[in-house]
Chain A
Amino acid sequence: MTATLTRADVAPVASPKRRRRAPGWLAVLPLLVFVAIAFGLPAIAMLNGAFTVKDPATGATSYTTENLTNSLQGAYLTALLGSVKLSAVSAGLGALFGLPLAHVVVSSGSRALRETVLTASGVLANFGGVPLAFAFVATLGNAGVLTRHLGLSATGWDLYSFWGLVLVYLYFLIPLMVLTIAPALDGLRAQWREAAQNNGATAVQYWRHVALPVLLPSLLGGLVLLFGSAFAAYATAAAMVGSSVPLVTLQIADAISGNVLVGQENVALALSLDMVLVAGLVMAVYLPLQRRSARWLA
């Protein structure tokens, strides 16, 4: 994903040296084979499973849309919407905090600060899953150190809720945003600001008419990435909030490996398909815009 934001993408499309394209394709072949096996096959298996039901008694399978209908009803729909809401809110907040932070670091001109922050972001952006959940539980959970020392319980603080989860997600989403947006901020030329100032533009006007439009596609790209990270996250939520925040990844886990519900595997596949569709929709917003920004930041 980050690769799409660098200049590598802007390779000249209409190259005059057409004859050299064939060997290029050959070199890509191992990658294509890998993608076909690691992503293509599971995708087909998922698609197939999402549309089949198995009769428990005879073992015969038949095609149906029943799984998909089920996955878009009742508790499953609530979970899907819950996931979308959580991902959208945390991605939005992540961008809101990440962008100014990255801007300060990039425009400070201090190399040491820049490298420290970017390295730290690289580490923190990958700090997720159960360890992250436990770190927060130990600090801010209902028997956590800070909760007890500051008496947070009395103020209504509850880590095991929607907003608690947003807070935990921001812990890795903000660094992710900093990492994603820093190259784009580097691409903002100092000359543009100077030109705007010379023409009498205020700082607000410069941001409103120059910087943000140029940054917008990268910003959207970052948002999509953040959304995806939050949308697919599972272990942190499972370890921290259990079933009290409805999330589609948790529902899939319940359906696919539980001790209670029998024969829900195909509904789980249908839920996975729903997730793919949501992710696809979100990306569809971003892709057309990405091409435009590449021109400016090259």
Chain B
Amino acid sequence: MSVSLPRSAVLGGSLAVVAALALSACGAAPDNASTTADGKSAATATSAADFGGMDKLVAAAKKEGTLHAIALPRDWANYGALIDGFQKKYGIKIEVENPDGSSQDEINAVTSRKGQDRAPDVLDLGSSFAVSAAQQGLLAPYKVAAYDDIPEAQKDAQARWYNDYGGYVSIGCDAKRVKQCPTTFKDLLKPQYKGQVALNGNPTKSGSAFGGVYAAALAGGGSFDDIQPGLDFFAELKKNGNYTPVESTPATVEKGETPISIDWDYLNAGYAEEFKSKGVDWKVVVPADGKFSQYYSQAINKDAPHPAAARLWQEYLYSAEGQNLWLAGYARPALMPAMEKAGTLDKAAAAKLPEVAGTPVFPTEEQQSKAKTVLAQGWAKAVSG
């Protein structure tokens, strides 16, 4: 009877059975290809130099031949081009599992398939998940060549994770349907935007929507310690009829269901490009009154079945080539300031980003987790009814 057993329970249970069977079937992860002649293992190498240099790392990775990735959508921050670029450059095949998965899905895959051949090698996590995974000892410490250039606030001191790319909360607006596009959070409250303002997800689940609420809090007199004004903002938006609960996607934007959408600037800017050919004039601004930026973090699974390929992927992502590919997808790579100084930044791509003044500031983990608790409790109350 479908009534008495929720899907999650059935799923969880059957996964457990499958995992148990799989565990007994195939033992430890292969460790043949990832050791050098002088006994250095890629699984414990904490830098390319530690393994005997880039050439040796490339050779070991090529021998492994495959990289298991998870939750990398091809149309997100130009990951499609990064995957193709890596495959072409090194001849290593990348298999992406569950491309639209969430950070939690990634952690689940790591823990439930520990020691297996099918476990993900590399992870692209929301920063809280990276911190929590590092605490649980799931991540391998590894310093890419450019590690020192990553801003201090954006990396783990033990190099178990570091930020890869990110962006600002932005307001996207369909200039054909909306007469005057809003440029600040305060604007969004104006009666002319009735039923037009959308988030790109549920903030208790989607990182970008959470960022949207945090940014609204900053705009409305809140701080990193106080997200409540953000909840109040959306409650007011709901009350005056401007808020639409439709979660914006490229499809809803194109159909006109979500003429104004609060989302990461790299997603909104990417849509603008995509929509030009379809006759939608999509304008993107980073609101001056609520600047909130967040970066995702890159990490290596401690028990990666392809440890050398995992480390080589990191080196590729943090090379000028990899960073510029993210930039071409409108995401701001972590090494952007350093590359600007070194002159390796793709200036044309950088010029296309929505304008932001000042340097990004981030809430601490404690501030974030407190904000999330407040949000989880208060969100439904703010926008339901």
Contacts and interface: CB of A to CB of B under 8 A. Distances in A.
Contact of A259 (B6, B195, B207, B378): B207
Contacts of B135: 56-57
Contact of A244 (B4, B207, B245): B245
Q: Which of A231, A256, A265, A268 has the most CB of B within 10 A?
A: A256
Interface in B175-234: 195, 201-207, 210
A93 interface: no
A217 interface: no
B247 A242 contact: yes
Contacts of B205: 243, 253-254, 257-261
Interface residues of B, number: 58
A105 interface: no
A283 B4 CA distance: 9
Interface in A264-291: 265, 268-269, 272, 275-276, 279-280, 282-283
B16 interface: yes
B249 to A, nearest CB: 10
B197 to A, nearest CB: 12
A94 interface: no
A148 B178 CA distance: 16
Interface stretch (A5-13, A38-46, A189-197): A38-46
Q: Which of B8, B12, B102 has the most CB of A within 10 A?
A: B8
Given A56-B136, A243-B204, A280 B4 contact: yes
A263 B107 CA distance: 10
Q: Which of B1, B9, B103, B238 has the most CB of A within 10 A?
A: B9
Consensus secondary structure, chain A interface: helix
Nearest to B199: A242
Interface stretch (A25-33, A74-82, A119-127, A180-188): A74-82
A227 B8 CA distance: 19
Contact of A242 (B2, B4, B201, B381): B201
Nearest to B17: A41
A250 B108 CA distance: 19
B384 interface: yes
Contact of A43 (B11, B13, B108, B207): B13
Contact of B246 (A142, A153, A234): A142
Contacts of B14: 38, 41-42
Nearest to B137: A59
A175 interface: no
Given A141-B246, A262-B369, A78 B380 contact: yes
A259 B210 CA distance: 9
Contacts of A234: 7
B146 interface: no
A133 B203 CA distance: 21
B237 to A, nearest CB: 12
A137 interface: yes
A87 B102 CA distance: 29
A229 B4 CA distance: 10
B372 interface: yes
B128 interface: yes
A204 interface: no
B256 interface: yes
A142 B380 contact: no
Contacts, number: 180
Contacts of B202: 242-243, 250, 254
Contact of A241 (B2, B11, B201, B245): B245
Contacts of B11: 42
B255 interface: yes
B105 interface: yes
A37 to B, nearest CB: 7
Contacts of B380: 75, 78-79, 243, 246
A41 B207 contact: no
Contacts of A229: 2-3
B256 to A, nearest CB: 5
B9 A272 contact: yes
Interface in B93-125: 101-105, 108
A75 B383 contact: no
A222 interface: no
A245 interface: yes
Contacts of A250: 202
Given A243-B383, A259-B207, A260-B126, A39 B5 contact: yes
Interface in B229-269: 238, 244-247, 255-257
Contacts of A252: 6, 8
A169 B355 CA distance: 45
B372 A276 contact: no
A229 B201 CA distance: 25
Contacts of B246: 137, 141-142, 160, 242
Contact of B204 (A1, A45, A142, A258): A258
Task: Enumerate the 4 nearest inter-chain pairs by beta-carbon distance, A residue then B residue, closest first.
Answer: A42-B13, A228-B3, A244-B245, A243-B202
Interface of B: 1-14, 16-17, 101-105, 108, 126, 128-129, 132, 135-137, 195, 201-207, 210, 238, 244-247, 255-257, 369, 372, 375-381, 383-385
Interface of A: 1, 37-39, 41-46, 49, 56-57, 59, 74-75, 78-79, 82, 137, 141-143, 153, 160-162, 224-225, 227-229, 231-232, 234, 241-246, 249-250, 252-254, 256-263, 265, 268-269, 272, 275-276, 279-280, 282-283
13 contacts: A42-B9, A42-B12, A45-B12, A57-B136, A78-B380, A141-B246, A153-B195, A228-B2, A229-B3, A242-B245, A253-B205, A258-B102, A259-B129
